[in-house]
Amino acid sequence: MSDQRFVSVWDAIEDTPQDAKNMKLRSTLMTALKSHLARTKMSQAQAAQLFGVTQPRISDLMRGKINLFGLDALVNMASAAGLHIEMRIHQAA
C-alpha cells in the first residue's frame, strides 16, 4: 500500500498533470453551472434552450458526466448563463 498523497482526486486518477488540470477546470465549471441552474430554478428544457443544446445534454451535465464535456463547451454554457469566468496563470513552484 502506498502512502502517496495528492492535492486532488484528479491528481490521483489522471495519467498526466495536464489531464488532471483539465479535469479540475472542467469539474469547477460543471459545479458552477449546476449551482446556477439550481439557484435560478431553471428547468432542463429552459437551460437547453438558453445554452443552445439538447435537454439530454443538460441531463448529462446535471448527472456529472464530466467525460462528455470539453472545456470549450462548458465555457460556452457558462457564458450563455451570464456567469463570469476568470483564469489566472501562475508560474509553477
| Domain contains 53 | yes
Q: What is the DSSP letter of 52?
A: T
Over residues 14-68, the pLDDT tens digits come to 778 888 889 899 999 999 999 999 999 999 999 999 999 999 999 999 999 999 9
Evaluate if residue 12 carries a pLDDT over 90: no
Evaluate if residue 72 carries a pLDDT over 60: yes
| Domain contains 77 | yes
Q: What is the DSSP string of 43-74?
A: -HHHHHHHHTS-HHHHHHHHTT-GGG--HHHH
Total count of domains within the chain: 1
Helix, strand or coil, per DSSP, at residue 28: helix
More confident residue, 13 or 33: 33
Indicate the angle between helix axes 71-80 and 44-51, nearest 10 degrees.
Answer: 100
Q: Please, what is the end-to-end C-alpha distance for the chain in angstroms?
A: 28
Q: Which domain holds residue 78?
A: 47-83
| Domain contains 92 | no
| Domain contains 70 | yes
Write down the pLDDT at residue 19.
87
